[in-house]
Every structure is written in structure tokens, then in C-alpha cells.
Amino acid sequence: MAASPDEPGQSAERVTGGPPRDLLARLDDPVAERTEWAPLVRLGTHLHTHRLVQDSVSRWSMRPTLAVRLPSGLMCLLFVAIGVMLLVGGVLGLRNPGAVLSQSVWAGLLYLGLGVCGFYVASAGIRQYRWVCQPRVFDLQAKGYWRGAGPRGVGTPEAGRHSAPLEEVHAVQILGELVRGTRATELRDFMSYEINLVLDDGRRVNVVDHGSLEHIRKDAAAIGDLIGVPVWDATET
């Protein structure tokens, strides 16, 4: 049972439930019977983070909105700036061996450490930005769905859990989740919604998870039409 958001120190948590009572009866689909109906991702966001766009005649993708790209880009720039300053400080220190030798070997190690930390911080910011902003791709020509760069063998264990062959997609699932906030974090309760691809064997692949039900339904309907599968909307009353 979910704890009350009024309890101090309570971390944000997800409140989940099964599908509406009549949904499975309405779907009358054996795959729906063996499909999980709890949200696939942990927690969520109240922002509208992604939108479906057409890249070409045979390729569509879910791409991050400005609400995601702007703060992620600023955070990336901050990490890169801090990393460059540390890296420059380390390089300048090592380029002055006289000063290093006069201070001690520990000064040299300090400068070297600054350089390594600077490189790591800068690269971490870039990697984080690339991860947040990577598209979710539906490619009709390649007959696959994937996140980011197209993996080898879409849908195979080597490709990871973020890809699937389109011919194995049985339905598009819409789920809602109540994310409870806390006094400690000053986070209010909010609803988040997700789009999942349901495969023929009942397994699911998450596409997006964000706070705009209107856009979730619109994009899920477009994805269903694109692949030629039904939409299972567990948020309908």
C-alpha cells in the first residue's frame, strides 16, 4: 500500500494498478491476458518530453521536446565548462615542470588528477545529453523499432531491451501512473503516462513516459496506424 505523501522523508513513489475491469473483456485477446499492466518504467515526469515526427517516408521517431533539450543542454554545457577548466588547470600545471618539482611530486599528481577529472566530467556531460536526447525510431524499411542508433539484430538479446522487430509488435499499450511527491522534496503528486509496445509473446518495450495524456494518446494512435496494430488504452474510463 502506498504511503501518504504527507509523511516526512517519504521518497516519491509510483502508485500502480491493473487495467480497468472491463478492458480485458473488451479486448478479448489472449495476448492481453498474459501482458503485464503495471507501468514498465520507474516513476515518471509531469513534462511533455517527446513528440512523434516524420523523418522520411518510411521513418518516424519520437524526439525530445524543448522542455527536455534546453535543461539537458544547459547541464551539458555546465559539465563541459567545469571539465575544461579542470583539464586546462591540470595541463598548465604539468607544462611547468619547474614549479611542479619545486613544490613536490604531490603537486604533479594533483595537476594530473585535475586533468583526468576534467576530461571525465566533460565527457560525462556529453554522454548524458546524448542519452537524454536520443530518438526513439520506427523504421518501416528496416522493419524495426529502436532507441538511439540502430542496433545490430533489432530485437535480439544483443540489441538490448530498447528495440523490437515491427512484425512482432502486437499492440500499443497506454498506461497511467500516479507519482506521489513529498514534503522533503516539495514535489506534488502528478500523473505520468507511458507508451509501450506489446510483443506477440506478451513482452513489452517502453517507448516514452511523460505527463501529457493528450499527446500520449495522439502519438500512440499514430504509432498504431503506422505499424498496423491496435491501441490498448488503460487510461480510458
> For 19-70, what is each residue's pLDDT tens digit?
666 888 888 899 998 899 988 887 677 778 888 999 999 999 988 887 777 7
**87 and 161, same domain (yes or no):** no
Judge whether 4 lies within some domain. no
Q: How far apart are CA 93 and CA 99, in angstroms?
A: 8
Same domain, 46 and 85: no
Residue 191 has φ and ψ, to the nearest 5°, of -100, 140
Based on the domain organization, do 91 and 120 belong to the same domain? yes
| pLDDT of 86 | 65
Residues 125 and 175 in one domain: no
* pLDDT computed for residue 101 by the predictor: 47
Same domain, 20 and 117: no
3-state secondary structure at position 77:
helix
Q: What is the pLDDT of residue 3?
A: 37
Overall domain count for the chain: 2
125 and 163 part of one domain: no
Structural domain that includes position 80? 69-132
Domain check: are 140 and 204 in the same one? yes
105-133 and 66-94 helices cross at what angle (nearest 10)? Answer: 160
C-alpha cell at 45: 515526469
**pLDDT for position 138:** 94
User: What pLDDT does residue 1 have?
Assistant: 33
Task: Give me the pLDDT at residue 151, please.
Answer: 62
Q: Which of 100, 132, 164 is the last residue of a domain?
A: 132
* Within a domain: 42: yes
The C-alpha atoms of residue 110 and residue 84 are separated, in whole angstroms, by: 16
Q: Measure the CA–CA gap between 69 and 49, rounded to whole angstroms.
A: 9
- Looking at the fold, whether 91 and 168 belong to one and the same domain comes out as no
Residue 3 lies in a domain: no
Radius of gyration of the chain (CA): 23
pLDDT at 178 (0 to 100): 84
pLDDT given for residue 196 in this prediction = 95
| 111 and 141 together in one domain | no
20 within a domain of the structure (yes/no): yes
Q: What is the pLDDT of residue 223?
A: 95
What pLDDT score does 7 carry? 37
Is residue 198 assigned to a domain? yes
* pLDDT given at position 213: 92
pLDDT at 8: 35
Query: What's the pLDDT score for residue 25?
Result: 84
In a domain, 9, yes or no: no
Spans of the chain, pLDDT less than 70? 1-21, 43, 72-73, 76, 83-115, 118-119, 121, 150-160, 181-187, 237
Position 171: which residue type? Answer: A
**pLDDT for position 204:** 94
Report the pLDDT value the prediction gives residue 96, as an integer from 0 to 100.
Answer: 62
* pLDDT tens, residue by residue, 48-61: 888 899 999 999 99
Cα torsion at 147, 235, 230, 132 (round to 10°)?
-10
Task: Note whether 85 and 38 are same-domain residues.
Answer: no
Q: 140 and 229, same structural domain?
A: yes
